[in-house]
Structure 1
Amino acid sequence: MRKKLSIYIHIPFCVKKCVYCDFLSFGADDPQINRSGAVRKAYVQSICRELLSYKSISKDYIVKTIFIGGGTPSILLPGEIMNILATLRSIFKVDEEAEITIEVNPGTLTAIKAAEYLAAGINRMSIGLQSAHNDELAMLGRIHTYEQFLTSYQTARDAGFRNINVDLISAIPGQTLHSYLDTLERVLKCRPEHISSYSLIVEDGTPLAGDQKLLSKLPDEETDREMYEATGKVLEMSGYKRYEISNYAKPGYECRHNIVYWTMDEYIGIGIGAASFFNGRRYSNTSDIKQYVDTMEEVFEKRSIDEAYRIPELLSIRHIDETVDIDTLMEEYVIFGLRMTRGISAADFYERFGHSLYDVYGDIIRGYVASGHMKDEKGMVCFTRKGIDVSNRILVDFLQDKDK
Structure 2
Amino acid sequence: MAKELELYIHIPFCVSKCRYCDFLSAPADEEERERYVESLCSRIRSCKEFAKDWHVSSIFVGGGTPSLLTGEQMGYIFRDIRETFRVDDMAEITVEMNPGTVSEEKLKAYREAGINRLSIGLQSANDQELKCLGRIHTYEMFVHSYQMARDCGFSNINVDLMSAIPFQTPESYEKTLRTVAELVPPPEHISAYSLIIEEGTPFYERYGEGKHAEELPAEEEEREMYVRTKEVLEEYGYIRYEISNYARSGFACRHNLGYWNRTQYLGIGTGASSLIGNKRWREGEEPEILTEKEEMEEFMFLGLRKMEGVSETDFRNVFQKEMQEVYGLILQKMKEEGLMEQAGDNWRLTERGIDISNYVMSEFLF
Pick which of 155-164 and 46-55 moved more.
46-55
Match of 2:315 in 1: 349
Residue 267 of structure 2 is matched in structure 1 by 269
Counterpart position of 1:61: 54
Following TM superposition, where does structure 1 have runs of at least 4 consecutive aligned residues deviating by more than 6 angstroms? none
SS in 2 for 1:376: strand
Residue 236 of structure 1, aligned match among 220, 234, 237: 234
Contact 2:278/2:295, CA 8 A, preserved across alignment? no
Deviates more, 1:383-392 or 1:270-279: 383-392
Instruction: Look up the SS of the partner of 1:282 in the other structure.
Output: strand
Identity percentage of aligned residues: 50
Aligned partners of 2:59 and 2:179: how far apart in 1? 29
Please state how far the C-alpha of 1:229 moved relative to its aligned partner.
Answer: 0.3
Count residues with an aligned counterpart. 361
Deviation readout 1:354-380 (Å, 9 max, x if unpaired): 111111111111111122211112220
1:1-400 map, 5 Å: 1-27=1-27, 33=28, 35=29, 37-190=30-183, 191-212=186-207, 216-285=214-283, 317-318=284-285, 320-399=286-365
214-223 vs 54-63, which deviates more? 214-223
Partner Cα distance (1:78, 1:65) in 2: 20
Cα offset for 1:280? 2.6
Tell me the CA shift for residue 396 of structure 1.
1.6
The answer to whether the Cα contact below 8 Å between 2:161 and 2:191 also exists between their aligned partners in 1 is yes
SS in 2 for 1:160: coil
- Superposed CA offset, 1:39-91 (max 9, x none): 21111011111111110121211100000000000011221011101100000
- Aligned-partner residue type, residue 36 of structure 2: Y
In the TM superposition, what is the alpha-carbon distance from 1:215 to its structure 2 partner? 5.1
- Secondary structure of 2:162's counterpart equals strand
The CA deviation at 1:347 is 0.9
Residue identity opposite 2:268 in structure 1: I
Structure 1 stretch 201-210 or stretch 379-388: which is displaced more? Answer: 379-388
Q: Is 1:81–1:117's contact at 8 Å kept on the other side of the alignment?
A: yes
What residue identity is the alignment partner of 2:157?
I
What is the DSSP-based 3-state SS (H/G/I as helix, E as strand, rest coil) of the residue aligned with 2:199?
A: coil
Q: Partner letter of residue 103 of structure 1?
A: E
Give me the whole-angstrom Cα distance separating, in 1, the residues matched to 2:78 and 2:70: 14
Contact 1:164-1:192 at 8 Å conserved across structures: yes
Q: Distance in 2 between matches of 1:325 and 1:383?
A: 26
Structure 2: tracts of 5 or more residues without a match = none
The aligned amino acid for 1:232 is: K
> Normalization by structure 1: what TM-score?
0.88
Q: Secondary structure at the match of 1:398?
A: coil
1:253-282 residue CA offsets vs partner (Å, 9 max, x unmatched): 000001111001110001011000013311
Quick one: which amino acid aligns to residue 204 of structure 1?
E
Give the match's secondary structure for 2:120: strand
Tell me the distance in 2 between the aligned counterparts of 1:331 and 1:396.
Answer: 9
Distance 2:364 2:277 in 1: 26
1: distance between equivalents of 2:338 and 2:238?
24
Contact in 1 for aligned 2:20/2:133 (Cα 8 Å): yes
Partner Cα distance (1:175, 1:143) in 2: 18
Query: Where do 5+ consecutive residues of structure 1 fail to align?
Result: 28-32, 286-316
CA separation in 1, counterparts of 2:155 and 2:203?
35
Letter of the structure 2 residue corresponding to residue 14 of structure 1:
C
CA distance in 2, matches of 1:207, 1:371: 39
**Structure-1 separation of matches of 2:85 and 2:266:** 12
For the residues of structure 1 that align with 2:53 and 2:362, how far apart are their CA atoms?
37
Specify the code of the residue in structure 2 equivalent to 1:201: I
**What CA distance in whole angstroms lies between the structure 2 residues aligned with 1:366 and 1:55?**
47
Q: TM-score, normalised by structure 2?
A: 0.97
Could you say which residue in structure 2 is the equivalent of 1:303? none
Q: Tell me, yes or no, if the aligned pair for 1:209 and 1:215 is still in contact at 8 Å.
A: no
329-338 or 205-214: bigger deviation: 205-214
Specify the SS of the correspondent of 1:211.
helix
Secondary structure of 1:65 counterpart: strand
**Change beyond 3 A, Cα 1:214–1:143:** farther
CA contact (8 A) 1:208 1:214 kept: no
The CA deviation string for residues 202-253 of structure 1, in whole angstroms up to 9 with x for no partner, is 0011011112586541101111110000001111121110000000000110
The one-letter amino acid of 1:130's match is Q
